[in-house]
Amino acid sequence: MKINNYGTQGINPYKKQVNKIDQVKSEAVKGTDKIEISSAAKELQQVTQVSQARTEKIEALKKEIQNGTYQVRAEDVASSIVNFYTKNNQAN
């Protein structure tokens, strides 16, 4: 009498488990997240360029401070403080 391999005798159940794990890992690699930044967002990320007039004003102030000729006007400071607190109180 001849007996052939019928049924599940020729299948290794441990090999099936290893194949399932490998398949899950390969699917996980395929499903990775991807981030794309639009050109508009890239432009916003760049450092803003200071205008020429502002640069000149900053340089003039630096020179005045270094020379000791820069003077603070108390009226301007006081009005800025008042404006700051009135704007913040209106927002609340």
Residue 20 confidence (pLDDT)? 79
- Nearest-angstrom CA–CA distance, 22 and 59: 65
Is the entire prediction scored with pTM above 0.85? no
- Nearest-angstrom CA–CA distance, 15 and 5: 18
pLDDT in tens, 50-83: 577 788 899 999 999 999 999 999 999 999 999 9
Q: Are 38 and 29 in contact (CB under 8 A)?
A: no
